[in-house]
Amino acid sequence: MPITVLAALVAFGIAGIAVLTVLFGFNKRRSFIDADDAGRAWLREFPDLEPRDITLSQDGCHALVQTDQGAGIVWSMGADSAARLLTGARVKQSTEGLDIRLRDYTAPRIRAALTPDQQTIWLNRIKDTP
C-alpha cells in the first residue's frame, strides 16, 4: 500500500472514529455521584488505604480524600478514574479552582474546579501532606 494512501487512511480513520464517539455522546466526563462513589474509585487504586473526609469538587469530577499517608486526590479520567497521593504536590490557585502539579510523569497536572471556599479547605488539607 503506498504510504500516502496509508497515511490518509489512518488520519481520516482516527478523525472519523473520534467524531462518531463525540456524536454518540461518549466524550462525557465521569462525574462522581457522591462521596461514596469517589471513595470506591479511590479504593480501586489504593485498596489498602482507606479514604476519609471525602470532599467533592464543584463539578463532581475531583475529590480530595484524607488517608493515613496524607491527602490524596481521585479524579475522572474520561469515563473512568485515576487517583494519586498528593505527596510533594505544588498547588496554585486560580479563579476556576486549583491547579495541582504532581512529581509524577503519569499524572503531571490536575485542574480541579472549586469555589473559593472549597479552595481554602482543600489548600489547608493539602498543606499538611508531606
Partner 1 sequence: MTDMLTYPDVVQLAVPFFIAAILIELLWIVIKKRGGRYETRDAVTSLIMGAGNVVSGILLGFIAWGFFMVLWGITPLDLGTSWWVVALCFVLDDLRYYWVHRFGHRIRWVWASHVNHHSSQHYNLTTALRQTWTGTFTFMMIIRAPLILLGFHPAMVLFCGGLNLIYQFWIHTEAIGRMPRWFEAVMNTPSHHRVHHGRNPRYLDANYAGVFIIWDKMFGTFVPEDDKEKVDFGLVHNLGTFNPLRVAFHEWIGIFKDVTQPGISWKDRFSYAFAPPGWSHDGSRQTSEMIKERHNRANKSASGS
- Note whether 10 binds partner 1 by CB under 8 A: yes
For partner 1, which is the closer residue by CB, 69 or 94? 69
- Note whether 59 binds partner 1 by CB under 8 A: no
- Note whether 75 binds partner 1 by CB under 8 A: yes
Give me the least distance between CB of 117 and partner 1, in Å please: 26
Residue located via cell numbers 503506498: 2
- Note whether 84 binds partner 1 by CB under 8 A: yes
For partner 1, which is the closer residue by CB, 22 or 33? 22
| Footprint on this chain of partner 1 (rule: CB under 8 A) | 1, 3, 6, 9-10, 13-14, 16-18, 20-22, 24, 26-27, 44-45, 75, 77-82, 84, 102, 104-108, 110
